[in-house]
Structures are given as structure tokens and as C-alpha cells.
Amino acid sequence: MIKITLPDQSVREYEAGVSGYDIAQSISPRLAKEVLSITVNDQLWDLTRTIETDASIKLHKWEDEEGKHAFWHSSAHLLAEALQELYPGIKFGIGPAIENGFYYDVDPGDGVSITEGDLPKIEKKMQELARQKNEYKRRDIAKEDALKFFSHDPYKVELISDLEDGTISVYEQGQFTDLCRGPHLPSTEPIKAVKVLSLAGAYWRGDEKRKQLTRIYGITFPKQKMLEEYLVQLEEALKRDHRKIGKELDLFTFSAKVGQGLPLWMPKGAKLRERLESFLKKVQVKYGYEPVITPHIGQKELYVTSGHYAKYGADSFQPIHTPAEGEEFLLKPMNCPHHCEIYKARPHSYRDLPIRYAEFGTVYRYEQSGELHGLTRVRGFTQDDAHIFCRPDQLKNEFKKVIDIIFYIFNALDFKDYIAQISLRDPNNTEKYIGSDENWEKAESAIIEACSEKGLNTVVETGEAAFYGPKLDFMVRDAIGRKWQLGTIQVDYNLPERFELEYIGQDNAAHRPIMIHRAPFGSMERFVAVLIEHTAGKFPLWLTPEQAVILPISEKYNEYAQNVSKLLNNSDIRCILDDRNEKIGKKIRDNELKRIPYLLIVGEKEAEDGTISVRRQGEGDQGTMKIDEFAHFINKEVENMLKEIDA
């Protein structure tokens, strides 16, 4: 008999060789119908895999991320089986589960192409195969046998060759066999609803010098209704796409001559960014941050010292060589090494700490062209970066203050649904990280304790830490339920060690400060993209680049409209004038599409009375007001919004 510990710490005894499905069945037949995968001693397993020794387990249903992962990973194999039947001789790269669904990278073969028009037949074949209820069977084979079995597929051979010698797991379902770690569903039976979504190009193993494969995206659900709801959400997401809305609102653009992944901010977009920066700077002053400015480049040796070059050198823009022999610079990939040098520029006493440096610093990282996506994945971006240098006794309190700043920002921009993710290092893969075990344990404990004291709803993700320290990431759900990572706080004992940072303690001896990295927005580019999609371009009145637009009914009233514009701008109302020679109905429609909160219509009566007719975006006519009355109304609305944020 073996002892199985459940999540509530209750213990049940079973015969050795029991499976996750057997355990679920013993608890409840209904649970057995709903469960999709199992975690055994912190490792994800198939439900059908047998447990031979005492273990702690957790059963996963559709509602759990682990359940969805098994469901979508299994669906990727189902997609591959469908492709194998439809395109004999096709070769397979990788096919992982992703946040929403799955994809498979494939090589259809010379002279063969898969097009958008082929997606319905692929989808139909997947549905047909799912109804066969074929089991997903795991088999462990020797590496040399795996190389023989997959010898017809150069992509699988390359993947197998990179693995350590020993046994390798493969999975079979129906007529398809794939190299895979799992876990998978017991069979294809739970896959009831299928949608093959789109195609894209993807270089093999992300290398632009290698062959471009066809990436096929799909999604599946256990119920047709779930798929229908998802497709509605997907349609709404397309309407909210920040690239589309950004173009409509004239916020940013890209230029092939400037380069891929390097956004150009238009005047309206620049004003939006400036207001966000101004908002955060005011908060930072309140919390005792000091502004600093650092250059866009640094000597390569700076990033060698910090460890960034060893970790990210291949993903950075390559060294810039100057006329001086042996002198190499890099475009700045991180702000933190520069801030370490600012700290080191003068001596510090324990009384000086904490020291908080803040910078809106632009950094550069080489992202492959296939990975670039609007503002969410770029090659040059501005971080709302700050670094706190503190004593050990100050660490937890400083960390909690940063959490307060992030809460303040989320409240201001109506991000109400979020989870705090504690990202720890992987204890089984410590070579990925720098620094001593002792310092890692201290840093991880500080984050866990701070989160507990703040009463945060947290999840723990092992293996997601930065290479120099653990972190707290805020995972935010937007207005239509999509999850984004916004805001990060990291505890770092290692960079102060590498840069030999010191302060003189109360004992007159030298001590190392602890460093906290924090970026509440993450990057301005990504944050603006998420904000656009969250609000559908309808920004809060205090933030929007244009609060009102003045619409004269005809050219006869342009002069009066110009006077209104001057008076409102003098009252700190951000307004523009639309004096095009167009009918008023068209002007109203056009400016509604620009998401400007207030439309101010002026004609003969308004010019005579010194008034404006007010329309609110999405709400229609709000009546007539005097100009100064409207200015007071807008300023009061903004004031009340900001008071509510402060509360």
C-alpha cells in the first residue's frame, strides 16, 4: 500500500500502481469525469500514469491552468494527426500548448503549401479524429531507438539529438506518434469543440537563418458553447487591437526605414505618454524617489560585470565599435547596471538608506522579426524603471511600499482583476541563476512575507525568477478577460555583490545594500498597448490626449469656435477644433470614432448666447452650457476622478 496526500493534507491509502484517474474515481465518479491531469510531487503527469510510491497529488480540471495545458497539448497532437492524414510526408517541428490554445510548426514539404483556405478541412479532420476516442499512450524508449523511429523527420532528429542519453518519452494516439514529455488527456474523447484559427510563418527554433516553417494556431474546448463564447471574445479583441485603434487615433506608427520594432510616437501618442509619465512621477515624489538619467549606450564591460551580457548577449544588439582600438559599446539592454554606478559614485552611510533612483530609461533588445507585435513586443522600449538600495531591516517595508504604488496605478486605470505571481527559482536547475543559495532564500522569504502581510491573492511559479533574483509579477485581466503581465518587483542580492556596492553601517564597517528593481508599468509601450485594448481607446478624462472637440455647424461660426477653443485651452481643457467644411452629422460621427469624450457643437444660437451645445461620447446630448460653466464642469470631473484614485 502507498499513502497519497491530497491538497487538503488528508491522506488516503491505495495499492501501488494506482493511477490519477483511479484516485479521482474513488473520490467521486463526477470528479473522474471532469479531471484532466494530475500533479504528482510537483510534476505534471498523465491521469493514466501509475503511482508506485507515497506521493502528494493535486487533480486538475478544466478550470485549472494545468487542466487546460493538458487539454490543449493533447489537441496539438490531434492537429498533427489530422495534418499527417491530409499531407502525407509532412514534417513536424514543435507543438506546444499556449495561453489560449496551441500551435504546431510544420514543414509541408517542397512544393506543398498550407493556406487559409485549407483550415476548414483541417478542422473537420480534427473533429473526425476526436470522435474516434483514441487513447493517448505514453511509451518510454531508448534515445537510439527514438532516433531510428523518427529518422524520416529531420526536425525530430535534431530535438532528440539535443536530449541527454537515456530514455525518451513518446506518445501515440490513433495513427500518430510524437516525441513529447506530456502530460496528455486519457483520450481524445473530451475534445468536443475545435477551431483552427490562423496561419503564420515561424523560423525553425527561432533562428532567422534557418528554414521558415508554417505555424498553425488552434483552440479546443470540452463544450461547443465555450468555443462560441471564445469566438465572440476573439471578435471583440480584434475590435480592440491596439494596432488598429492606435492608427485610428493617430497615436503611433512604424517605419521600415527606421527599422522593425522601433515605434514612432505621433503628437497625440506623445501627449498620452507624457501624461502617464507625469502621473507616475508625482507618485514617485510622494514615495521619496529621486530622478536620474543615464545614456542609451554603455561599455560592454558594464554588462559583463552585471551578468546581462552572459545571459542576454546573443539577444542584444551587437557591440558598437568606436575608432579607439578595443573599445566596445552596447545599446543599453537594462538600466540597473547604470543605476549601480550612480550609487557607487559617492560613499553612503546606513543613515542615507534607502536610496531610490527612478528613470524613464529607454532600452534596446534584439527581438526576432517574427516575434515583433505592435507595441507589445518591440526592439526599443522605455521602462518606468526604479532601483531601491536598502538595508536588510528595510527590505520588507520598501517592498510593501512598491506594492502600494502598483495598487495606486491599477486603481487609477481601472485594472481591478489581477493576481500577484511570486516567481521563484527552480531548485533543480540552479545553473540558470547567479548568487548564493543563502541570498536566494533570504530574497524569496522577504517577498513571500511581504505578500502575506499585504493580504495579496498570490500564486507561486517555480522557475520563473529573473536570473539575479526572485520577483513579484502582477498578472492583470483586462475588460474582456485576457491576462497580461503588468508591473514587476524584484529582490536582488547579486548585483550589489557584482558591483561591490557598500554602505558604512552603525558599526563603522562596510556592508552590502540590497537592491529592489521595480517597474509598475513594465514598459511604456506595452502598458499603452494594454491600456488601449482594455479601454478600447476610451481613456479616462484625466488622461486622454483630447478632452473635447469643437464642431462649428458651418464656416460662418468658425471664428466663434476659435474663441471657444482659446477660452477652454486657457482653462486647462485639452480641446481641438474641427472646422472642416463638412456637414455636422459627419463631423459628429468622425469624432465619435476618435473616442473624444466631449463634442461641443456651436451654431447661430450658441454664438449669440455665448454658449456651447454639449454631447458626451456614447451618451448623446447633454444640453447647453456657458463656456466657463463647461470648463468648471470638466475640471471638477477630473478633480473628482483623481480624488477617487487617491482615496
Q: What is the pLDDT of residues 127-149, one digit of tens each?
A: 999 999 999 999 999 999 999 99
Angle between helices 524-535 and 224-240 (to 10 degrees): 120
Q: Name the residue with cell 475590435.
A: 239
Task: State residue 482's pLDDT score.
Answer: 82
Q: What is the mean pLDDT of residues 30-55?
A: 92
Q: What is the pLDDT of residues 101-131, one digit of tens each?
A: 999 999 998 889 999 999 999 999 999 999 9
User: Is the separation of the CB atoms in 40 and 92 below 8 Å?
Assistant: no
CB 45 within 8 A of CB 96: no
> What SS3 state is found at 396?
helix
Note the pLDDT of residue 31. Answer: 92
Q: Is the peptide bond before 392 cis (omega within 30 degrees of 0)?
A: no
Annotated binding site: 336, 387, 517
- Domain range summary for the chain, segments of one domain joined by +: 2-61, 67-234, 253-292+335-535, 295-332, 548-646
Residue with cell 489530422: 82
Helix (H, G, I), strand (E, B) or coil at 592: helix
pTM for this prediction = 0.83
Q: How buried is 411 (Cβ within 10 angstroms: 0-12 exposed, 13-18 middle, 19+ buried)? A: middle
Encode burial over 25-64: b for 16+ CB neighbours within 10 A, e otherwise: eeeeeeebebbbbbbbeeebbbbbbebeeebebbbbbbeb
Per-residue pLDDT at 498 exceeds 80: yes
Separation in Å, CA 473 to CA 206, 445, 451: 26, 16, 11
Q: Which CATH superfamily does the domain covering 2-61 fall into?
A: Beta-grasp domain (3.10.20.30)
Encoded amino acid at 121, one letter: K
Read off the pLDDT of each residue in 519-541 and give the average, rounded to a whole number: 92
C-alpha cell at 345: 559614485
Q: What band does 635 get if pLDDT is binned at 50, 70 and 90?
A: very high
Give the residue ranges of the annotated binding site for Zn(2+): 336, 387, 517
Right CATH for 253-292+335-535 from 3.30.930.10, 2.30.42.10, 3.40.50.1000, 1.10.1740.10: 3.30.930.10
Mean pLDDT (the chain) is 92
Residue 186: pLDDT band by 50, 70, 90 thresholds?
very high
Among 1.10.287.3510, 3.60.20.10, 3.30.980.10, 3.40.30.10, what is the CATH number of 67-234?
Answer: 3.30.980.10
Q: Supply the Cα-derived Rg of the chain in whole angstroms.
A: 29
Contact predicate 289/384, CB 8 Å: no
Cβ atoms within 10 Å of 312's Cβ, excluding its own: 15
Query: Which pLDDT band holds residue 198 (cuts at 50, 70, 90)?
Result: very high
Q: Is the pLDDT of residue 447 over 80?
A: yes
Report, as an integer, the average pLDDT of 316-330.
Answer: 82
Instruction: Tell me how many degrees the CA angle 154-160-162 measures, rounded to the nearest 5.
Output: 105
**Which of 245, 236, 7, 227 is closest to 130 using CA atoms?**
227
CB 386 within 8 A of CB 521: no
Q: What is the mean pLDDT of residues 157-180?
A: 93
Cis ω before 88 (30° cut-off from 0)? no
**Structure confidence at residue 456 (pLDDT):** 87
- DSSP H or E stretch at residue 400: helix 395-412
Per-residue pLDDT band at 442 (split at 50, 70, 90): confident
Instruction: Assess whether pLDDT exceeds 80 at residue 294.
Output: yes
Name the DSSP letter for residue 313. G
Q: What local confidence, expressed as pLDDT, does residue 209 receive?
A: 85
Q: What pLDDT shows up at residue 647?
A: 65
Q: pLDDT grade, residue 644 (50/70/90)?
A: confident
Fold match flag (67-234 vs 253-292+335-535):
no
- pLDDT tens digits along 568-624: 999 999 999 999 999 999 999 999 999 999 999 999 999 999 999 999 988 889 999
Q: Which residues, at least 6 apart from 117, have a Cβ–Cβ distance to it below 8 Å?
A: none
Tell me the pLDDT tens digit for each residue of 363-377: 998 887 777 899 999
Average pLDDT in the 250-264 region?
A: 95
Instruction: Give the pLDDT band of residue 646 (cuts 50, 70, 90).
Output: confident
How does residue 385 score in pLDDT terms, banded at 50, 70 and 90?
Answer: very high
Residues taking part in catalysis: 336, 365, 383, 385, 387, 471, 517
Domain 548-646: CATH class, spelled out: alpha beta
- Band (439; pLDDT cuts 50, 70, 90): confident
Residue 96: pLDDT band (50, 70, 90) is: very high
Residue entry with cell 528613470: 359
- Between 438 and 505, the more confident residue is 505
> Which grid coordinates are listed for 120?
476548414
Contact assessment for residue 479 and residue 535, using Cβ atoms and an 8 Å cutoff: yes
